[in-house]
Amino acid sequence: MPGKLSFKDVGMSFRLYRERVDTLKEAVLGRFRHRKSYEDFWALRHVSFEVRPGESVGLIGHNGSGKSTLLKVAAGVLRPTEGTARVEGRISPMIELAAGFDPDLTGRDNIFLNGALMGHSRKEMARKLDRIVEFSELGEFIDQPVKNYSSGMYARLGFAIAADVDPEILIIDEVLAVGDERFQAKCMERIRSIRQGGCTIFYVSHTMGSVTELCDRVIVLHHGQLVFDGAPEPAIARYRELQGFHPPPEARTA
Ligand SMILES: Nc1ncnc2c1ncn2[C@@H]1O[C@H](COP(=O)(O)OP(=O)(O)OP(=O)(O)O)[C@@H](O)[C@H]1O
């Protein structure tokens, strides 16, 4: 059964601590300023949307617009400060490189660890192991501690696991960006087939071509607010307009 997601008026704030910047001179002159030593920063505010079973939804926005934060709330890694985020179904998050990996364990052991986190028994994971290792193309590195991996190697393993644990909702963050071109193409192929299998997909990317290709619908975040939710083309146009970006005609869908 494909899963679904529902966000109602979700807000996520972080407390940003400031260092006091009063200089000695200011102190001597008695010009103390009483500043707050922290402020609350809303990375997401009033975000509401639904992802229905089997839908493939894209999430785009400028750097720092709140995409990863939204995915972390969806995956239950962060609890929203306001509102409610509901997830129905087994979610397979590929959020940030190395999330969910224990750096001291080998790639192989991390496959079992991630499988367990997803509710799979050791026996089930042992059945999937060869396929995951083969897809990751890590070769003998699979028996090295993952702290020795490059970012591309992390991404390969992360993707290979997430794509093979029979998710009901597959969350894909920008991880593909660090893989080399050939591996990216292989991942896209796998995502297409997972999508055809009816899995619900939530896809974050800065590569508009892949968003257009993979997504039925696209959500645009801008400074933590949801500013558009609709068809891919107008969503991308809105995103570019907000950035004041006008691509040359030949790059419009790239
Ligand atoms: N743990 C945290 N503590 C404080 N601020 C945070 C924390 N996590 C995220 N932020 C801030 O929240 C904002 C949104 O960050 P987020 O990583 O969600 O953006 P993003 O859209 O995924 O960006 P990018 O495209 O660069 O990956 C940023 O200003 C970031 O600095």
* d(CA 197, ligand 1 centre) in Å: 32
Q: ipTM > 0.90?
A: yes
Q: Phi-psi region for residue 83, left (φ > 0), alpha (ψ -120 to 50) or beta?
A: left
Supply angle C-alpha 4, 55, 183, rounded to 5.
Answer: 110
Residue 130 alpha carbon to ligand 1 centre in Å: 36
Q: Counting atoms of ligand 1 from 1, which one is nearest the CA of 15?
A: 4
Residue 145 Cα distances to 41, 53, 103, 110, 140, angstroms? 36, 37, 6, 9, 11
Residue 189 class from Cβ within 10 Å (0-12 exposed, 13-18 middle, 19+ buried)?
Answer: exposed
Cα(66)–Cα(170) distance, rounded to whole angstroms?
19
For 27, 52, 177, 187, 196, the CA distances from 161, given in Å and listed in that order, are 56, 24, 17, 12, 19
Atom of ligand 1 nearest to the CA of 221: 21
What does the pLDDT read at residue 98? Answer: 47
Banded model confidence at residue 106, pLDDT cuts 50, 70, 90: very high
12-66 confidence digits (pLDDT tens): 999 988 766 566 666 666 665 655 678 899 999 999 999 999 999 999 999 999 9
- pLDDT greater than 60 at residue 254: no
Q: What is the pLDDT of residues 161-192, one digit of tens each?
A: 888 877 888 888 866 677 788 888 888 888 88
CA-nearest of 108, 42, 114, 47 to 74 is 47
Nearest CA to ligand 1 atom 26: 63
How much distance in Å is there from the Cα of 42 to the middle of ligand 1?
10
- Categorize the per-residue pLDDT at 97 as very low, low, confident or very high, splitting at 50, 70 and 90: very low
pTM of the model: 0.82
Cβ–ligand 1 contact at 56 (below 6 Å): no
pLDDT tier, 220 (very low <50, low <70, confident <90, very high otherwise): very high
Residue having the nearest C-alpha atom to atom 6 of ligand 1: 14
* Separation of CA 158 and ligand 1 centre (Å): 21
Residues 6+ apart with CB under 8 A from 153: 138, 141, 146
Q: How far apart are CA 205 and CA 46, in angstroms?
A: 22
**220 in contact with ligand 1, CB cutoff 6 A:** no
For residue 14 and ligand 1, the question of a CB distance below 6 A is answered with yes
Centre of ligand 1 to C-alpha 167, Å, is: 26
Any atom of ligand 1 within 6 Å of the Cβ of 43: yes
Q: Give me the percent of the chain exceeding a pLDDT of 70.
A: 85
Query: Which residue type sits at 29?
Result: L
Q: Is the pLDDT of residue 109 over 90?
A: yes
> Is the confidence at residue 211, as pLDDT, over 50?
yes
